[in-house]
Amino acid sequence: MKRVLVLSLLTLGITTLAHAQATRTWVSGVGDDANPCSRTAPCKTFAGAISKTASPGIINCLDPGGFGAVTITKEITIDCTGTLGSILSSGVQGVIVNGLTTHRIILRNIDINGAGTTLGTNGVNVIQAASVTLDNVTIQTYSGNGLQTTNTSNVINVFINNSRLSNIGARGVFLNNTSTGTNRLFVQGSQIFNNASVGIDVGGQNDIVFVSNSDLSRNVAVGLQIQQGNSTANVDSTTINSNGTGVVAGLAGGAIVRLARCTIAGNTTNGLSGTGTTKCFSSNMIDGNVGSNTCTSTLQPLL
């Protein structure tokens, strides 16, 4: 009986190890999703690796490669620092995030591209998570939006650091939350430019946006737009040039946009417009736009 018990425990332990997920996994351009995704036996795609990665966990890129579209349903970091890691998602979305409300997702040093005979639809679609961070990420060539949120509940924090979202068929960033869903968007040192509609479009309710040291230029319709009357944007040291309209402070009254140390010039419809409020500190340069260059209120400069 003792031998049977020992053998049973050993068998159970081996089985458990065989099905255990690793905290860190690896992908390679010459990998195979049949592998365990270890350093010496990497997987081929992010989708193959994520099923073998624990939550929270990390997927790293060993070498250059296109690692395919992925749906993220756990707390994960995908990091291609030191090599050329990319997602090519012709006809589909590049990354779908649909985790728990406690999950923190990080995408770092990844090129997300929708190029192909049929363009990809959206670069990153965030349905549910605690936070999503884009760190040195490039998103290009999608027919829909570069990054969009579609949460119907909970608060999602979106961080865009040192990233580039361009050549998008609709909006660079679209906060499209509905019902009781809200977003906090933080954009730092990034370029959201040359998109066919709006650079940053805040369509949800009760959203708060912070933009600093960034470029929202050459978007066909608007550089920065707040739609709902109960959302706000705070913009510091940012260039908003050569769009249709530079800033739209509300398609409904009550929206607030605060501007400090910004350059808003060369916009072909208006520099500033909307039914809400633009609170402009006198450290801005707002000039040379067709149409309105006038803030709702001008405040003392920030030091």
pLDDT of residue 110 exceeding 90, the answer is yes
Does the model's pTM come out above 0.85? yes
In this prediction, residue 18 carries a pLDDT of 40
Tokens 């579209």 -> residue: 69
Q: What is the pLDDT of residue 14?
A: 39
Residue 193 pLDDT: 98
The pLDDT, as a whole number, for residue 229 is 87
How much of the chain exceeds pLDDT 70, in percent?
Answer: 93
What's the pLDDT band for 252 if we cut at 50, 70, 90? Answer: confident
Domains of the chain: 28-299 (2.160.20.10)
Other CB atoms within 10 Å distance of the CB of residue 251 = 16
Q: Which DSSP string corresponds to the chain? A: -HHHHHHHHHHHHHHHHHTPPEEEEEE-TT--TTS---SSS-BSSHHHHHTTEEEEEEEEE-SSEE---EEE-S-EEEE-TTS-EEEE-TTS-SEEEE--TT-EEEEESEEEE--SSS-BS-SEEEEE-SEEEEES-EEE-BSS-SEEE--SSSEEEEEEES-EEES-SS-SEEE---TT-EEEEEEES-EEES-SSEEEEE-SSS-EEEEES-B--S-SSEEEEE-STT-EEEEES-EEESSSEEEEE-SSTT-EEEEES-EEE--SSEEEE-SSEEEEETT-EE-S-SS----SEEEPPP-
Residue 17 confidence (pLDDT)? 40
- Inform me whether the pLDDT recorded for 9 exceeds 90: no
- Mean pLDDT for 229-255 is 95
Which is it for strands 182-188 and 155-161: parallel, antiparallel or unpaired?
Answer: parallel
